[in-house]
Chains A and B, each alone.
Chain A
Amino acid sequence: DGGITQSPKYLFRKEGQNVTLSCEQNLNHDAMYWYRQDPGQGLRLIYYSQIVNDFQKGDIAEGYSVSREKKESFPLTVTSAQKNPTAFYLCASRMHRQGFTGNTIYFGEGSWLTVV
């Protein structure tokens, strides 16, 4: 089945530790995104990538890093510099066509990260 797969579903991080969240899609989508969701807040954009080997910072990129070495994969690393990483992380993707209005963004099932 086509879709977006995030792993792990639940992850615990110790203070000072870097952790990586995986996101893989088999939809042949060009663009991929990472959002963070906190209770009572809207989804906030961390990073996005329109094409392989290129990515841009979103609204809350500090303390996070990404890579886009393959079209299908867009892993997110939560570094020790992120002071409040406990949240629900959502990966998303969409087909990008220059000038096309409003391509739909589809989401994975999310990953819960908790600092212990």
Chain B
Amino acid sequence: EDQVTQSPEALRLQEGESSSLNCSYTVSGLRGLFWYRQDPGKGPEFLFTLYSAGEEKEKERLKATLTKKESFLHITAPKPEDSATYLCAVQASANSGYSTLTFGKGTMLLVSP
């Protein structure tokens, strides 16, 4: 069974205080690892897809990295507008050629001015 574990559950940072969110996964054949941002009462907003170990992607203050067991979302010099819940999901290989996403429970990030 595919599993995704995100840590910490919640993180409070001061503006400008860099940190990292962790996503550990076990999956039989990784087809892709996804990061989403979700604001309260809204649908998840796509951030990144990573396909293979060693891959990195950046967007503004966010940088996602991937190893064979986990992914990190690094937040450099965060601002209050980065406050949100960050979701990690994996897409596994399936014999039928179809596959769905398995999500972690998310990390709630609060950045204080």
A84 beta carbon closer than 8 Å to chain B = no
Asked if residues B105 and A40 are in contact (CB atoms below 8 Å), the reply is yes
Residue in chain B with minimal CB distance to A102: B32
Q: Which of B13-21, B43-51, B74-82 contacts A (4 or more CB under 8 A)?
A: B43-51
Establish whether residues A42 and B91, one from each chain, have CB atoms under 8 Å apart when the complex forms: no
Which residues of chain A from 63 to 116 have a CB within 8 Å of any chain B CB?
Answer: 88, 90, 96, 98-99, 101-110, 112
In the complex, whether B73 has a CB less than 8 A from a CB of chain A is no
The answer to whether A109 and B51 have CB atoms under 8 Å apart is no
| Interface size of A in residues (CB-CB distance below 8 Å) | 30
In B19-55, the 8 Å CB interface with A consists of: 31-32, 34, 36, 41-46, 49, 51
Secondary structure of the B contact surface, majority rule: strand
> Do residues B34 and A104 form an inter-chain contact, with CB atoms below 8 A?
yes
Chain B residues lying within 8 Å of A6, measured Cβ to Cβ, are: 43
Question: B103 an interface residue at 8 Å Cβ cutoff?
Answer: yes
B71 to chain A, nearest CB (A): 13
B64 close to chain A: CB less than 8 A: no
B82-113: which residues lie under 8 A (CB-CB) from chain A? 87, 89, 91, 97-98, 100-106
Q: In whole angstroms, how far apart are the Cα atoms of A33 and B36 in the complex?
A: 16
Q: Say whether B42 contacts A102, CB under 8 Å.
A: no
- Interface residue? A53 (CB, 8 A): no
Tell whether, in the assembled complex, residue B100 and residue A42 are in contact, meaning their CB atoms are under 8 Å apart. Answer: no
A37-74 contacts to B, CB under 8 A, are: 40-45, 48, 50, 58
B16 to chain A, nearest CB (A): 29
Chain B residues lying within 8 Å of A42, measured Cβ to Cβ, are 4, 87, 102-106
B100 touches A110 (CB 8 A): no
Which residues of chain A have C-beta atoms less than 8 A from B104's C-beta? 42
Contacts of B49 in A (CB 8 A): 102, 104
Q: What is the bound-complex CA distance between A104 and B103, given in angstroms?
A: 14
The answer on a CB contact under 8 Å between A107 and B97 is no
Q: Could you list 8 examples of A-B contacts with CB < 8 Å?
A: A42-B102, A48-B100, A101-B32, A107-B43, A107-B44, A108-B43, A110-B41, A112-B41
Chain B positions near chain A (C-beta within 8 angstroms): 4, 31-32, 34, 36, 41-46, 49, 51, 87, 89, 91, 97-98, 100-106
